[in-house]
């Protein structure tokens, strides 16, 4: 019964795929030939799994231009071999020049972590975001509304993930051998479609501490 109910919906997805493929060829007969040859994107996007935040589309880039890793609440932890494998492949094999950690305002994962809402197994994953909130609790004061606190935690979470990425052996080794590589922190706005650069770009190991201090000092001023 379930297969019959879902069948037409899945068939429609396949039909949409065919229409999309036809439209791409109509616009550019070499589209898929060029896509097949594209193997070296310059950007690694580490973002949230939220379906409202599609990396290529909001950057205005074609398939093949961005290497993408996504998980709930765009978390990077040193025990996640999946994320670290993507990072290592992107840096060592693809030779990406930019790693961009992208959160988004209104993130349901961040909100659940902030409010202590129980969801299930994912609660264990979101514990990482709760740790960020506890670490930077001073910047999430009572003067902020609930929405403002959520937005602030989304930003702090991105800042913390920039720190985590920069501290990985993959990135540290790349910098030590002189590889051109920079790490950035952005937050996407669902309400307007715009990316907010948190200005925590790091291009070498010695820049990490001052970049973090400068960014957090801004929150200190408006806490």
Active-site pick, 19, 52, 127, 218: 52
Beta bridge partners of 68: 45
Cβ atoms within 10 A of the Cβ of 190, count?
13
Residue 83 appears among annotated catalytic residues: no
Active-site pick, 107, 136, 149, 184: 107
Beta bridge partners of 48: 71
Give me 159's structure tokens.
């800042």
Three-class SS state of 48 = strand
Picking from 223, 192, 163, 184, the residue whose alpha carbon sits closest to that of residue 105 is 192
Bridging pattern class, strands 43-48 and 182-188: unpaired
Using the 8-state DSSP alphabet, how is residue 161 labeled? H
What whole-number distance in Å separates Cα of residue 89 and Cα of residue 93? 5
Task: Tell whether 166 is in a known binding site.
Answer: no
Cα-only R_g, the chain:
20
Task: Tell whether 92 is in a known binding site.
Answer: no
Q: How far is CA 185 from CA 9, 28, 100, 215, in A?
A: 37, 34, 6, 11
Residue 127 appears among annotated catalytic residues: no
Active-site pick, 50, 69, 70, 215: 50
How far from the centroid of its chain's Cα atoms is residue 93's Cα? 20
What whole-number distance in Å separates Cα of residue 24 and Cα of residue 70? 26
Active-site pick, 69, 70, 98, 104: 104
Residue 80 appears among annotated catalytic residues: no
Residue 52 appears among annotated catalytic residues: yes
Residue 65 appears among annotated catalytic residues: no
Task: Tell whether 83 is in a known binding site.
Answer: no
Which residues contribute to the annotated binding site? Answer: 48, 50, 104, 107
Which residues contribute to the annotated binding site for Zn(2+)? Answer: 48, 50, 104, 107
State the catalytic residues. Answer: 48, 50, 52, 104, 107
């Amino acid at each position: 019964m379930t297969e019959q109910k879902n069948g037409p919906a899945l068939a429609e997805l396949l039909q949409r795929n065919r229409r999309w493929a036809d439209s791409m060829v109509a616009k550019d007969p070499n589209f898929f030939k060029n896509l097949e040859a594209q193997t070296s994107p310059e950007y690694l996007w580490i973002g949230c799994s939220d379906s409202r935040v599609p990396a290529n589309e909001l950057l205005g880039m074609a398939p093949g231009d961005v290497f993408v890793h996504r998980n709930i609440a765009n978390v990077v932890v040193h025990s996640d071999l999946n994320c670290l494998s993507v990072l290592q492949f992107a840096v060592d094999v693809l030779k990406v020049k930019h790693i961009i950690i992208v959160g988004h305002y209104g993130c349901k994962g961040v909100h659940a972590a902030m409010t202590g809402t129980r969801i299930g197994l994912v609660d264990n994953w979101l514990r990482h975001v709760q740790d960020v909130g506890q670490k930077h609790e001073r910047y999430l004061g009572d003067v902020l509304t609930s929405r403002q606190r959520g937005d602030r935690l989304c930003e702090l979470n991105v800042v913390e993930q920039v720190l985590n990425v920069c501290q990985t052996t993959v990135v540290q080794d790349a910098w030590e051998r002189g590889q051109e590589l920079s790490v950035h922190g952005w937050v996407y706005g669902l309400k307007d479609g715009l990316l907010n650069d948190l200005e925590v770009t790091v291009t070498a190991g010695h820049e990490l501490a001052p970049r973090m201090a400068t960014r957090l000092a801004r929150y200190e001023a408006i806490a």
